Each structure stands twice: as structure tokens, then as C-alpha cells.
């Protein structure tokens, strides 16, 4: 399956069922949270994908305009963070209707777990992409 086209999406983790979200402030260098909405999805859960050369994407909150990024010293378990500058990600097919999101320059993938395994409810990075925790669903907004 081809990567998503540029545009606005709700981004949901397959394993947790939680959506990428904005808290409305998106202070730089703070973790990007996930949430399980109790009602309709809102602008807080809406993100823009901007495609650049080489099939790379910049992902930003439509609510605040803040970009999603990664810390300077990335390790397994590092949180995906809010940033001012552009951070580039690869979005690749991972099976029917699901995708991996990874750093453009490292083999580290976004993941989220069920609340019992990851109670902080933030998007984390890890090497490898072999399970549902690394699979993301893009729903057109």
C-alpha cells in the first residue's frame, strides 16, 4: 500500500487504540501524548502530513502548528517530542491499512502500548517494527 497522501489525518495506534493528540500548548521538547477520545474526534487529534523530497514527511498539529520531532540523543524508549523546526519521518507500508512511522536517519520507529504496559500515554521510539505497537492507522480528517 502506498504511504498516505499529504493532508490532514487522525493518527491511531493499532495496539493501544489511542490517537496522537495535542494538549493545546505543545511546549517544545515535551512528549507527544496519545489519548482515547470518549466522543467525536476533534482538532486536538488532527495532524497534517506535509510530504517533502524523497518520500519524507513533516507531521504537525493542526490545532497549534507545532511539529512532531525527536530528541537530540535518541535511544530505545525515547519519547517523540514537540519541536519548532521540521523533523523528517518515513511512513512505510506495514500491512493492510497500517503503516510504520520512523525517523528518517535512524532505524527507530514510533510505538505505543496498551495502558498497562505504557501508562504515561506518550509516543515512544524503538528499534524494529514487528508488532502492533508499531503500527499506525491514518484516518482522513
**Domains in the chain with CATH codes:** 7-140 (2.80.10.50)
Residue 40 and residue 17: Cα distance in Å, rounded?
Answer: 14
List pLDDT tens digits, range 53-106. 888 999 999 999 999 999 988 988 899 999 989 999 999 999 999 999 999 988
Provide the pLDDT confidence category of residue 114 given band limits of 50, 70 and 90.
low
pLDDT reading at 22 higher than 70 = yes
Residue 26 and residue 81: Cα distance in Å, rounded?
Answer: 9
Nearest to 98 by CA among 88, 110, 106: 110
Residues 16-34, mean pLDDT to the nearest whole number: 91
List pLDDT tens digits, range 119-134. 568 999 999 877 889 9
pLDDT of residue 53: 82
CB 12 within 8 A of CB 136: yes
Gyration radius of the chain over CA positions: 13
CB 10 within 8 A of CB 133: no
Amino acid at each position: 500500500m502506498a504511504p498516505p497522501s499529504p493532508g490532514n489525518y487522525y493518527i491511531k495506534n493499532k495496539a493501544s487504540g489511542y490517537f496522537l493528540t495535542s494538549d493545546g500548548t505543545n511546549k517544545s521538547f515535551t512528549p507527544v501524548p496519545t489519548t482515547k477520545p470518549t466522543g467525536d474526534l476533534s482538532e486536538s487529534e488532527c495532524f497534517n502530513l506535509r510530504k517533502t523530497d524523497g518520500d519524507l514527511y513533516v507531521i504537525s498539529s493542526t490545532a497549534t502548528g507545532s511539529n512532531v520531532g525527536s530528541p537530540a540523543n535518541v535511544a530505545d524508549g525515547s519519547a517523540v517530542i514537540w519541536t519548532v523546526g521540521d523533523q523528517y519521518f518515513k511512513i512505510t507500508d506495514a500491512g493492510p491499512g497500517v503503516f510504520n512511522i520512523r525517523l528518517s536517519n535512524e532505524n527507530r520507529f514510533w510505538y505505543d502500548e496498551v495502558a498497562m504496559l505504557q501508562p504515561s500515554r506518550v509516543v515512544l521510539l524503538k528499534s524494529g517494527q514487528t508488532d502492533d505497537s508499531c503500527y499506525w492507522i491514518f484516518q482522513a480528517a
